[in-house]
Amino acid sequence: MKIERSPFSIAGEEIPPGQRRTVNIAAAKMYNRNELYMDVHVVHGRIQGPTVFLSGAVHGDEINGVEIIRRLLKMKLLNSLRGTLIAVPVVNTFGFVNRTRYLPDRRDLNRFFPGSPKGSLTGQLASIFMEEIVARSTHGIDFHTGANFRSNLPQIRAAISDPAIKEMAMAFGAPVVLDAELRDGSLRKAAYDRKIPLLLFEGGQSMQFDPIPIRVGTQGVVSVLRHLGMLPKAKQKSKCTQPILAKNSTWARASASGIFLPRVKLGEIVEKNQILGLVTDPLGESEHQIISPTSGVIIGQLQSPLVHKGDAVSHVAAISDMDVAETAIDSFQNEFEIESKMQEYEEGHL
Ligand SMILES: [Zn+2]
């Protein structure tokens, strides 16, 4: 016998089982008397299950997650959802409108969780997100991109010492899972402290829609929802092999100020001491090498040619087994790059 689910209560609304609705959560009062809202779309399945939140644009200029969530919400598959999905495509509305990472008080929202109702503007928004969204959820996925002219290989950052988080991270199917440290003030740390498994997805660059990270992210959420039993199991097993599990990562930095000429690409496997790039000057009179600090895979890369000495240029995730890593990267490139070209062709872009 099925137990009838209760309606889902949020922002003073009751969403009956089997229905979906957009609600507006008051995020702040502006100085022009206007109220600012955070739009939240809830899909409340007919049958009992976990409650997963998806959050985009915590950093207002990191917009790939906005598109990932938009694509997910269009999927007919959600009609058979068990449990509840809470989608918040734009958490930092201020930053999204102003095309910036920050809030008007010049703070970074992802350093102010869990926040406080009595805190700064940023602290208040963090607190509203914790109470209205995180506290109602059993799991979460937070979407980010590289910042400051840096692009990221699609990757999951998660505290994989927790078995539930590790399983979720592996199920997502991004080519790399990085066991990144929990940073104080981050949403990931605040969720961890509340024992809510949270994945952070990184992919692409700020202020862009990057096709491959968007596709990996969209497919990743579906895979996680299947893993949690919220969607039916896939008929076909994914072609993607196991992700590369990296325990740590290091940024290689510019060895001089000048023009940065990369010699590696995102997703490339590199050896320790391999040349990652050169720094020259506008007259071409000097040339400095940037050397890889470790063997690993390039998970982040500066996209701008202008560097000062010490600027982070290539982010290398350390890997122990190069053969396993090569297989994972090959399978990722085969699946997503070919698929992406097919899609562009179908959409008439080629
Ligand atoms: Zn971010």
Residue 274, domain member (yes or no): yes
Q: Is residue 34 part of a domain?
A: yes
Residue 32 CB neighbour total at 10 angstroms: 5
Q: How far, in Å, from the CA of 57 to the mean position of ligand 1?
A: 7
58 C-alpha vs ligand 1 centroid, how far in Å?
Answer: 7
Distance in Å, CA 237 to ligand 1 centroid: 31
Residue 143 falls within a domain, yes or no? yes
- How many angstroms separate the CA atoms of 3 and 16, rounded? 14
How far does the centroid of ligand 1 lie from the alpha carbon of residue 26, in Å? 23
**Rounded Cα–Cα distance for residues 313 and 252 (Å):** 6
What is the model's pLDDT at position 171? 96
Range of the domain at 193: 8-227
Does residue 328 belong to any structural domain of this protein? no
Residue 118, C-beta contacts closer than 8 angstroms, at least 6 positions apart: none
Distance from residue 209's CA to the centre of ligand 1 (Å): 14
Q: If you measure from the C-alpha of residue 179 to the centroid of ligand 1, how many angstroms do you get, rounded to a whole number? A: 17
Do 308 and 160 belong together in one domain? no
How many angstroms does the Cα of residue 92 sit away from the middle of ligand 1?
11
| Beta partners for residue 289, in sequence order | 278
Residue 99 shares a structural domain with residue 36: yes
Report if residue 339 sits inside a domain.
no
Q: Is residue 234 part of a domain?
A: no
- Ion ligand 1: protein residues whose beta carbon lies under 5 Å: 59, 62, 144
CA 20 to chain centre: 24
CA 205 to ligand 1 center in whole angstroms = 10
Q: Does residue 263 lie within any of the structural domains?
A: yes
Residues 99 and 201 in one domain: yes
- 71: CA distance to ligand 1 center in Å? 20
Q: Answer for the pair 313, 290: CB distance below 8 angstroms, yes or no.
A: yes
Same domain, 203 and 280: no
Per-residue pLDDT at 270: 96
Measured in Å, residue 111 CA sits from the centre of ligand 1 at 11
161: CA distance to ligand 1 center in Å? 22
| 82 and 38 fall within a common domain | yes
Spacing, Cα 282 to ligand 1 middle (Å): 32
- Are residues 148 and 278 located together in one domain of the fold? no
Are residues 191 and 257 located together in one domain of the fold? no
- Of the candidates 236, 231, 219, the one whose C-alpha atom is nearest the C-alpha of residue 72 is 219
Amino acid making up residue 143: F
Instruction: Say if residue 238's pLDDT is above 80.
Output: no
The whole-angstrom separation of Cα 233 and Cα 140 is 20
Same domain, 202 and 105: yes
For residues 4-33, average pLDDT: 94
How far away, in angstroms, is 204 Cα from ligand 1 center?
Answer: 11
Distance (angstroms) between ligand 1 centre and the Cα of 350 equals: 31
* Ligand 1 centroid from CA 281, angstroms: 31
- Rounded distance from Cα 100 to ligand 1 centre (Å): 11
Average pLDDT over residues 269-281: 96
**Distance from the CA of 129 to the center of ligand 1, in angstroms?**
16
Instruction: Let me know whether 212 and 262 are in one domain.
Output: no
Model confidence pLDDT, tens digit, residues 325-343: 999 999 888 888 776 666 6
Q: How many domains does the chain have?
A: 2
Dump pLDDT digits (tens) for 43-64.
Answer: 999 999 999 999 999 999 999 9
CATH number at residue 222: 3.40.630.10
DSSP letter (8 states) at residue 337:
I
Distance 146 CA to ligand 1 centre (A): 7
pLDDT in tens, 285-333: 999 999 999 999 999 999 999 999 999 999 999 998 888 899 999 988 8
Given 196, 227, 258, the domain boundary residue is 227
Residues 254 and 220 in one domain: no
Summarize pLDDT for 25-39 with one digit per residue, the tens. 999 888 999 888 999
Residue 276 within a domain:
yes
* pLDDT tens digits along 79-127: 999 999 999 999 999 999 999 999 988 999 999 999 999 999 999 999 9
Task: Give how far Cα 59 sits from Cα of 11, 55, 108, 279, 315, Å.
Answer: 23, 10, 7, 30, 20
User: Do residues 206 and 261 both lie within one domain?
Assistant: no
Compute the average pLDDT of residues 141-156: 96
Same domain, 20 and 105: yes
For residue 211, what pLDDT is reported?
Answer: 95
